[in-house]
Chain A
Amino acid sequence: MTRRSSNGKVFEWNYKDNLDLKTVNKNLMIQINGDRFTDSTTFDSNKCSLVSSLNFKCICGIGSNMHHCEAAQRWTEYAYRHHSRSFDFEKDSEIFNDMLTLAESDSAVQESVQQIKNDICRTVTDEEFFCVGGRGYTTMLEVLTAFALYDKPCGYVQGMNFITASLAYHCNSATAFWLFTSLIEDYELRENYLNGLEGFYERAQSISELAKVEIPEIHAFLVTFEMITLEPVMSLFCNMISLEESKHHLEEFFKRGWKYFNCLFINFLECNSAQIFMCEDQCDILSLFKDYYHCRGGRQSTWSQRIALQNKSTADSYSICDVDWEKLCRKS
C-alpha cells in the first residue's frame, strides 16, 4: 500500500497558489491536506476544476489521490491488510469504466437498473447530493449498475443501496465500487444477499447466540430475532447511521469485520433495553424496531440522536466513535 501513501503529488498541485480563498463561497467545506477549501458552482472553472472534479462530499480530508477521502483511504488499507485486496486506483478506474460501458448494452443489467433507480432516489432523501442529478446519485447508480454486471448471480439487492450511499459520500464511483466489491467478497456480505438468503439466516443465528450470552435477559424477550436483524444486516446498519458517522462506522467494519457489527448490534439492543422491556408482546417489539429503522430523523441525525429520540432515558452521550470497539470485540 506504500504506493499510495507517498502519492501526494496529485494535490500538491498547489491549491494555495491557484485559489484565492477569499473569493470562494462557503457552501461546502472540503478539507484538503489540512487546508480548508470550498466547493461551489460559482467558482472560476479553471481554478476549481480539481475541486469540482471531486465527486464525494465528506469533509474527512482527501486521501492519497482525488478518488476518495482520507477515511476511505484507510478502508482500502484495512481491506489490503486483512484480505489482501489491492487497489490500483488508475487501473481500477479503467476497469470500472469499461464495465459501465459494457453494462449499457447488457439487457439483464438494464433490467436491474430500473430497480436500482427506483431505490436510489428513496435512499437518502434529505440530502440534495443524493437526489436525481446529484453527484451522489450518479455515484450510487454507477456503482450498483457496475456491480449488477460484475456479479450477475448475486446482482443488486435492496439494502446494498444504503451501503453504497455511505461509500458514495466518501469516494468517487471507482473507489466506491471496489470498496463495495471488497465488502461483498472479502467481508462476506455476498452470502447474505444470495437467493434464499441462507447467509443471512446463519448470520442472524450467530448474532442471536452472542446475544444469548451477552445480554440474556434482552435476548429472552426477542423471540423474532431474525426479523429484527434483517434490516441492519442487509444494510450493514447504513440505513440508520448518519453519513458523517459512516466514516467511523465503516472504518470499524473494515478494521474488524462482522465482530464489530455484532458488538454494535448488541450495544444497540442494550441501549434500548428499557424500551424493549416495556413491550407487551412480539408485535410491540417489531413495531419498536420498525420505528428505529424507519425513524424519520433522516440521515443527518446521529446514531445517538436517533437512539435518544426513541429512548430518552439512555444514550445521552453515545456515539459510535466513543465506544472502545477493540475492547468489546475482544471480549466477545
Chain B
Amino acid sequence: MEKKKNKKVFLKVVIIGDSGVGKTSLIHRYTSTRFLQDFKPTIGAEFSNKEVVINGKTVVAQIWDTAGQERYQSLGISFYRGADCCGIVFDRSDHSSFENLDTWKNAFLKHGAPKEEGTFPFLVIGNKSDLDDGSLVKERDAQQWCADNGNLEYIETSAKDNTSVEEAFTKLIEKGMEREKVNLVELPDRMSQKNKTVNLQRDVAKDVNRKPQKKKCC
C-alpha cells in the first residue's frame, strides 16, 4: 500500500560567497530566527536542516554553509555536488565581494557540475543592506549583473534586521523544487536521503551510506 501523503521532499541548498559577507548569519537567521553578532569564521563547511511547507509539500532543506576563504575552497567544492539550488551571497557594503560573483558562479558550475547548467537555479543575495551609508552596491548594478549572467534573480537582505531573509530562502527552495519537479525522488528513509550528500572524505563513497553501528559504550 502506498502512502502518498506526508512524504518529505529532500532538497540540497548550497550557500557560497566571499568570506565575511554574512552567509552563516543568513542561514542562522533563517533556521533559528535569531541574529548573532559573533559568528566565528566558518572553517570548511557545515550545514543546517530546516523543514518547510512549500505549495503543500513538506520539504527538508539541507542548507550547506561553506567557507569563504580561498584556501578552504578545495574542501567546499566537494559539497557542491548534488546541489538542487545555490545562493551566491555578497556584502553590499563591500564592492569586491560583488565583483567576485563571477568567480563564485563559475566555480560552482565547474565543481558542482550540475546537469543543464544554463538553467541551474541560482539566487543572488545582496546582504548587509542595513549598513546603508550611501555607498552600498546599487540595486541597479546588481540587477544588471544578474541580467547579464543568465537572468538570475536578485534579492536584497539584511540578516541583522531580518529583512527578506525568509523570502530569500523560500525563493531559493522554490527554485530548487521547480528544477527537481521532473525527476524528484521522494526517498522514504531519512538516512538514505541525507547521507547521499554528507560526503567530505574524498574516497569514502561506500562508507557514507553506512549506518552507524549502534553499540553500547563500554
Q: A interface vs B, CB < 8 Å?
A: 115, 118-119, 122-123, 125-126, 157-159, 161, 193, 195-197, 201, 217-218, 220-227, 230-231, 234-235, 239, 273-274, 277, 279-283, 285-287, 290, 294, 296
Q: B interface vs A, CB < 8 Å?
A: 19-20, 36-41, 43-49, 62, 67, 69, 71-72, 74-75, 190-191, 194-195, 198-202, 204, 207-208, 210-218
Given A118-B20, A221-B213, A227-B200, does the pair A286, B69 have CB atoms closer than 8 Å?
no
Asked whether A224 lies within 8 Å of B208 as measured between CB atoms, the reply is yes
Which A residues lie within 8 Å of B204 (CB)? 223-224
Kindly state the separation between the CA atoms of A118 and B216 in the bound complex, as whole angstroms: 44
Which A residues lie within 8 Å of B19 (CB)? 115, 118-119, 158
Asked whether B191 lies within 8 Å of A281 as measured between CB atoms, the reply is yes
Kindly state the separation between the CA atoms of A23 and B46 in the bound complex, as whole angstroms: 51
Which B residues lie within 8 Å of A280 (CB)? 190-191
Of B67, B74, B194, which contacts A283 at CB under 8 A? B194
Of B38, B45, B69, B199, which contacts A115 at CB under 8 A? B69
Which A residues lie within 8 Å of B218 (CB)? 217
Instruction: Determine how close the nearest CB of chain A comes to the CB of B82; give it in whole angstroms.
Output: 14
Output the nearest chain B residue to A111 by Cβ-Cβ distance. Answer: B96
Given A122-B38, A277-B214, does the pair A224, B200 have CB atoms closer than 8 Å?
yes
Which B residues lie within 8 Å of A119 (CB)? 19-20, 41
Asked whether B74 lies within 8 Å of A196 as measured between CB atoms, the reply is yes
Given contacts A217-B217, A226-B201, 18 further A-B contacts (CB under 8 A): A118-B19, A119-B19, A122-B39, A122-B40, A123-B40, A125-B37, A158-B43, A158-B71, A221-B213, A223-B208, A230-B75, A280-B190, A280-B191, A281-B212, A283-B49, A283-B195, A285-B212, A296-B36
Kindly state the separation between the CA atoms of A239 and B47 in the bound complex, as whole angstroms: 19
Asked whether A122 lies within 8 Å of B194 as measured between CB atoms, the reply is no
Given A226-B200, A277-B217, does the pair A122, B41 have CB atoms closer than 8 Å?
yes
